[in-house]
């Protein structure tokens, strides 16, 4: 079969990214332009600034992506774009740009769901083996998903409140760490011990997650101690929070592996770049002797290579979008089944 080259476009939050991906697994060219430093000044992503910066940068990112590739735009087989979920204004910039490229260069258009993109980051340099268990841990999602085949998703459990990445970011803020908080909390936690008592999240034997009680416990502890004039051992608090948060996800993964016969365990999303999570999840995979796939760190946080990878099964099934494609801030992956 002829090789298939897909141009992936991702602009759902504060990264403008494009990639050319061959056959859903080989990254030919890859560019990420992050707005992180701009948003860090405000302590989080400012949607209006994000969409304006995407508009300013998107053409430059395309030029750079093509410059890094031996493939010309005329040789691309399809244009894939994240259409949901995310910040509406940011998504729209990518969707309209993709539609324009599709029209001008007469290439089919493929609409990719952002969370599915995170999952398919595991198809880069790896062949997915079904059935598989996927743990999606990002700033917007915490889901445990069973996949019987390509694009066959069964959500076993999701968070009841905050996403795990969101709770990392809020804990970082109260500890005075810079946005995005996850990597900074992890760095600080390596210097501490889990010596602060933390509440245990949902323990009902289900696959549901909860992080809001844990996050609030950290925030309340900081406020109370500050009011009393007591010093906070920030390293220990970061470590206590991280230990409990990661234990919450690894425990549910372990429960699923105990109850289900899967061939592969994959992790995805920004929090999957945590060295601590990777270490703990590896222990669980080893215990249940299941093959573990973890994307390269640069494909865990938002990127377009994962969009090119997730578009490939849709390309093979001729599932193309038309020019009525619109961005959507919310959307469930279950709609795909
Ligand atoms: O997937 P992603 O780039 O964007 C979303 O789709 O949400 O994930 C971003 C999230 C942020 O909440 C960030 O703090 C978190 O991933 N994150 C981490 C680490 N690196 C990124 N959380 C914990 N430890 C890390 N090393
Ligand atoms: Zn993401």
Q: How high is the mean pLDDT of the chain?
A: 95
Q: How confident is the model at residue 43 (pLDDT cuts 50, 70, 90)?
A: confident
Answer whether residue 337 shows pLDDT above 60.
no
Residues with CB under 6 A from ligand 1: 13, 138-140, 165-166, 168-169, 180-183, 186, 269-271, 273-274, 301-302
**Closest Cα to atom 14, ligand 1: which residue?**
182
Which helix H or strand E contains 136, and what residues bound it? strand 132-137
Mutation test of ligand 1: which of 119, 138, 275 has the most ligand atoms closer than 8 Å to its C-beta? 138
For the ranges 56-70, 91-105, 199-213, 215-229, the lowest mean pLDDT is seen at 199-213
Answer whether residue 336 shows pLDDT above 80.
no
State the distance from the centre of ligand 2 to the C-alpha of 220, rounded, in angstroms: 28
Mean predicted confidence (pLDDT) in 200-222: 91
Strand partners, 314: none
CA dihedral 255, 261, 267, 269 (to 10 degrees): -80
Radius of gyration of the chain (CA): 20
Q: How confident is the model at residue 200 (pLDDT cuts 50, 70, 90)?
A: confident
Q: pLDDT tens digits, residue range 78-134? A: 999 999 999 999 999 999 999 999 999 999 999 999 999 999 999 998 999 999 999
Q: pLDDT tens digits, residue range 233-265? A: 999 999 999 999 999 999 999 999 999 999 999
Mutation test of ligand 1: which of 190, 271, 273, 329 has the most ligand atoms closer than 8 Å to its C-beta? 271
Residue partners of 147: CB distance under 8 A and separation at least 6: 119, 128, 130, 131, 132, 133, 134, 153, 154
- Count of C-beta atoms within a 10 Å radius of residue 31: 23
Answer whether residue 201 shows pLDDT above 80.
no
Backbone dihedral angles phi then psi of residue 42, each to the nearest 5 degrees: -100, 0
**Closest Cα to atom 23, ligand 1: which residue?**
182
State the distance from the centre of ligand 1 to the C-alpha of 159, rounded, in angstroms: 16
Q: Which ligand is nearest to the CA of 116?
A: 2
pTM of whole model > 0.85?
yes
State the distance from the centre of ligand 2 to the C-alpha of 267, rounded, in angstroms: 13
Q: Which ligand is nearest to the CA of 211?
A: 1
Answer whether residue 269 shows pLDDT above 80.
yes
State the distance from the centre of ligand 2 to the C-alpha of 115, rounded, in angstroms: 7
State the distance from the centre of ligand 2 to the C-alpha of 238, rounded, in angstroms: 23
Q: pLDDT tens digits, residue range 128-163? A: 999 999 999 999 999 999 999 999 999 999 999 999
Answer whether residue 203 shows pLDDT above 90.
no
Mutation test of ligand 1: which of 15, 182, 186 has the most ligand atoms closer than 8 Å to its C-beta? 182
Q: Cα separations (Å) of 13 from 38, 303, 306?
A: 13, 10, 15
Answer whether residue 335 shows pLDDT above 80.
no
State the distance from the centre of ligand 2 to the C-alpha of 268, rounded, in angstroms: 9
> Which atom belonging to ligand 1 lies closest to the Cα atom of 139?
7
What are 294's two structure tokens?
A: 């973890």
């Amino acid at each position: 079969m002829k090789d298939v080259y897909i141009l992936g476009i991702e602009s759902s939050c504060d990264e403008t990214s494009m990639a050319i991906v061959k056959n859903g697994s080989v990254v030919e060219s890859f560019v990420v332009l992050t707005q992180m430093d701009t948003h860090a000044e405000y302590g989080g992503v400012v949607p209006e600034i994000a969409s304006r910066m995407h508009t300013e940068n998107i053409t430059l990112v395309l030029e750079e992506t093509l410059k890094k590739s031996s493939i010309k735009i005329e040789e691309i087989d399809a244009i894939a774009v994240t259409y949901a979920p995310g910040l509406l204004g940011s998504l729209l910039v990518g969707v309209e740009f993709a539609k324009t490229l599709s029209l001008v260069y007469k290439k089919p258009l493929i609409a990719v769901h952002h969370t599915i993109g995170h999952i398919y980051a595991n198809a880069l340099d790896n062949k997915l083996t079904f059935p598989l268990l996927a743990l999606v841990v990002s700033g917007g999602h915490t889901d445990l998903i069973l996949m019987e085949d390509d694009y066959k998703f069964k959500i076993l459990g999701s968070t009841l409140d905050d996403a795990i990445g969101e709770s990392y970011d809020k804990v970082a803020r109260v500890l005075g760490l810079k946005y995005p908080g996850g990597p900074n909390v992890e760095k600080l936690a390596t210097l501490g011990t889990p010596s602060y008592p933390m509440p245990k999240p949902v323990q009902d034997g289900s696959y549901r997650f909860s992080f809001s009680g844990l996050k609030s416990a950290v925030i309340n502890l900081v406020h109370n101690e500050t009011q009393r004039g007591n010093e906070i051992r920030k390293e220990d608090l970061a470590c206590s929070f991280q230990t409990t948060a990661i234990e919450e996800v690894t425990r549910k993964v372990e429960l699923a592996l105990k109850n289900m016969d899967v061939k592969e365990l994959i992790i995805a999303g920004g929090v999957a770049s945590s060295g601590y999570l990777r270490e703990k999840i590896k222990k669980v995979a080893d215990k249940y002797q299941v093959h573990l796939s973890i994307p390269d760190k640069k494909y865990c946080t938002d990127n377009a290579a994962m969009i090119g990878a997730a578009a490939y099964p849709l390309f093979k099934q001729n599932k193309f979008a038309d020019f009525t494609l619109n961005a959507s801030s919310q959307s469930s992956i279950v709609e795909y089944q």
